[in-house]
Structure formats: C-alpha cells, structure tokens
Amino acid sequence: METPLTNNISPGKEPADLRQYENAGGYAAVRKALRLAPAEVMAIVEESNLRGRGGAGFPTAKKWSFVPMGDDAPRPKYLICNADEMEPGTFKDRLLLEGDPHQLIEGMIISAYTVQADVAYIFLRWAYKLAAERLESALAEAYRQGYLGKNILGSEYSLELHLHVSAGRYICGEETALLNALEGKRANPRAKPPYPQVSGLWGKPTVVNSVETLCNVPHIVNRGAAWFKNLSRSADGGTKLYGVSGRVKKPGLWELPMGTPIREILEEHAGGMQGGYRFRGLLPGGASTNFVVADQLDVAMDFDSMQVAGSRLGTGAMIILDDKTCPVGMLLNLEHFFAQESCGWCTPCWSGLSWIEQILQGLEEGSGQSSDLERLQSHARLLGPGHTFCALAPGAAEPLQSGLKHFGDDFHRHIREKRCPWR
C-alpha cells in the first residue's frame, strides 16, 4: 500500500530538510510542471479526480478553472493554503505541516503556477507553534535554492510565498472569512457571488485550498493521474488521512486508500473499542457531521458513500461515542464550542446556537422538559443549509439533529429522571 502523503514523515523526528527532501524526489514535480503549460498541469489534476480534502470535497481542478486566465486577467492573483485547522477532533493537517513542510510548499508552487498566481499565503492556526517554526525554516531553504522568488529555477514564473499566523477563530476556516482576516478585517464571511476565484483577496482572483489537498498535487504531477486514481478504492482518487479519537485501543491517524470502510479503520487500525466500552456511534468527519451508528460501519469513507449514508466525509476524522459517555453531554460540549465560535454576523447562528446550548445545559442539569426536544428539532431545522450566512451553523446542526434521531431515548431519560443518568 502506497502512502505518498506520509512517506517522508516519522512522528517524533525532525522533518526532512531541503537536501533530504530533494534526495527523496522532492521538487521534481515543480521542475516537471514548469516545463508544461498551466493548462496541461490543470488537465492532469482534473483527470486525477482530486477532490478538496478540507471537508466540502469540491473537485480541485474545477475550482481552479474558475480563475480568469490570460493577459487580460486581473493582477495580482493569489493562492492561499487554509491551515487554520480548528475543527474539533481533526488533527490531520498538523501531521503534514510539522512532518513534511516542503511537501506543502512544493504543492503550493505547482498549484500557484497552474492558476498563474503571483503571491501565495499559508494561513496558519495560531496554536500550531511547531508547524510555524518548521514552515519558516523550509520557506527560507526554498527561497535560497531558487524554488521561490523571481524566475523560479530560471523560468519566467515568479512566486512570493508568505506564512501568516492567524489570530485564531474557528470561523477563519470558512474561506471568505479567512480572506477578511488576511486583509486585517473582522473575520466575517462574505456574500457569494462573487466567488473568491473571481474576486477574493483585496478584490483579486484567489484560490483557497486545504493543506491535504495541496500536498497531493506534487505526487499527481510526478506519478500521473492514472496512478493517483488507482490508489483509491472509490471513484474519488488518491489516499486519505483518516483519524480516530475516543475510547479506542489505538487512537491515531493513518493514510489509507480513499474509500476504506469505517469498520476497517475502526477495528483494524484503531484496534477496536477499549475493554469495558461498547460502541454507540461516531461522527465520521469531525464535529460538524451527522452521527453514523453500528449498522452503518461497512460504509466506505469517501464523499459519495458517506452522503448516501446520511452524513459527510468531512475531514475524515472520526470522533467515537461509547456507551459510558452521555450523548447529551457530548452534544452540549460540541454546541458550546460552535456557539462560542460564531462570528455573530447572522442572527440564526449567534442566537440559535446559544439557545441550543442553554437547552442542552438544562437537560444535563435536570431541568429539561418535553417541549425542549421540539425546540431542539426546530433549531436543527432552522439552522440548516440556506438559512444562515455560511456553513458554521448548518455544520453545528448536523450532530444535533442526528443525535436526536439516534439517541432520542437518552434525551427522554434526562427529562424523565430529571438528571443526567451518566453522572
């Protein structure tokens, strides 16, 4: 089984410096890409079926194709790496940033060349101190070696790449809020259209991609689209970083073929449940996804299969719910986070999420009433897609509405016994 994303990573050890990275084949894809026309690189990525790994799963080449090209295109154009990894339960990008920073830089150079971006930014979560240190070092090496700056490797293409450490908010993971934050404004989402590819950072064409997405690009260019598609067990090309946290024997992160079934990840790689704990459900793609329960464990972890199962692949980071953890308390913890991280821009989000938190708190404290469940159902519906300015509130509503569906008896027990049965 090939693991291109993590092949150079040894957890607990220093990442490869530039010379070691080159000796392992690093930056060969940059040299290859610069000999091709941008449209030719785009075609390779399109054929590979690479879909965005940040959560939405939008086809990467299609996103790039919306950027105006040619001599008449507005300038400068920008490429931004969204490294503001704050989705609860998700830690995949941190491994890539700390373990192989040159891989990301190479992916950004090729991606920026493909859309003819002049300037690129890595928008990094403030808490990722070690990642910032290693990225700064790798960037300095790349500049010294001529991979960044004017006339890269003697070509006509130039790129300036900067590291921007975020002040830190979950909402900055939404690409237009990220753009506002990068411009020094309050991190509120923007109305769309116009989309960033046409009018993004400072009103200029901008592409925003995730860390994992960009790290795939050098391998696709180097090895080809057919190779990338053959890594997968599904129509979505490549491998995927899958994570598991909770009461399992071996919580962690693994690079596996896209489309690996949930059961295989949970039982073979995470070792199954710890002794004395039984599985009740999981959030398959970070905190903002619908619960998957025991009779769905054979579903493939890819974008389309998870949608058919009534959830989303999201970030591919599973959060496990066991039989000794209160599902109402788990949801309270998650909804507290989402309410706290609302930017306050639209009323349904900042008001609705706070109300949800209060209702769940009342259930946990023993003051819940039957009417509370109707209010929670109503909020879950009203915070759904199309009712708020961005996807933060709809994402927060997913674990709530699916939790009410799968663990309704637990909610009723809180009301009936006027306490949390797990305390």
Give dist(CA 64, CA 49) in Å, integer: 13
Residue 123 pairs in a beta bridge with 82, 164
Residue 11's pLDDT band, with cuts at 50, 70 and 90, is confident
242: Cβ contacts below 8 Å, ≥ 6 apart? 253, 254, 255, 256, 260, 265, 269, 301, 316, 317, 318
Structure tokens at 178: 């990220």
Element (H, E) at 178: helix 175-182
Give dist(CA 349, CA 66) in Å, integer: 30
Give dist(CA 234, CA 224) in Å, integer: 17
Q: How big is the chain by its Cα radius of gyration, in Å?
A: 22
Sign of CA dihedral 6, 7, 9, 15: negative
Listed in order, strand segments (DSSP E) in 249-292 are 252-257, 279-283
- CATH number of the 18-230 domain: 3.40.50.11540
What pTM did the predictor assign? 0.96
Predicted pLDDT of residue 180 = 97
Return the CATH architecture of domain 327-417.
Answer: Up-down Bundle (1.20)
Give residue-wise pLDDT tens across range 203-213: 999 999 999 99
Element (H, E) at 113: helix 101-115
Predicted pLDDT of residue 107 = 98
Give residue-wise pLDDT tens across range 214-271: 999 999 999 999 999 999 999 899 999 999 999 999 999 999 999 999 999 999 999 9
Give dist(CA 419, CA 368) in Å, integer: 9
Residue 168's pLDDT band, with cuts at 50, 70 and 90, is confident
Phi/psi class of residue 165: alpha, beta or left (left: φ > 0; alpha: ψ in -120 to 50)? beta
Predicted pLDDT of residue 423 = 85
Give the sheet arrangement for strand 78-83, strand by strand.
160-165, 119-124, 78-83, 206-210
| Cα 32 to Cα 149, 229, 398, distances in angstroms | 18, 20, 43
Give dist(CA 122, CA 302) in Å, integer: 27
Report domain 239-322's class. Answer: alpha beta
Name the 3-class secondary structure at 180.
Answer: helix
Structure tokens at 165: 């450490």
Domain limits, the chain: 18-230, 239-322, 327-417
Q: First vs last Cα of the chain: how many Å apart?
A: 45
Residue type, 283: L
pLDDT at 354 over 90: yes
Residue 30's pLDDT band, with cuts at 50, 70 and 90, is very high
Give dist(CA 222, CA 218) in Å, integer: 6
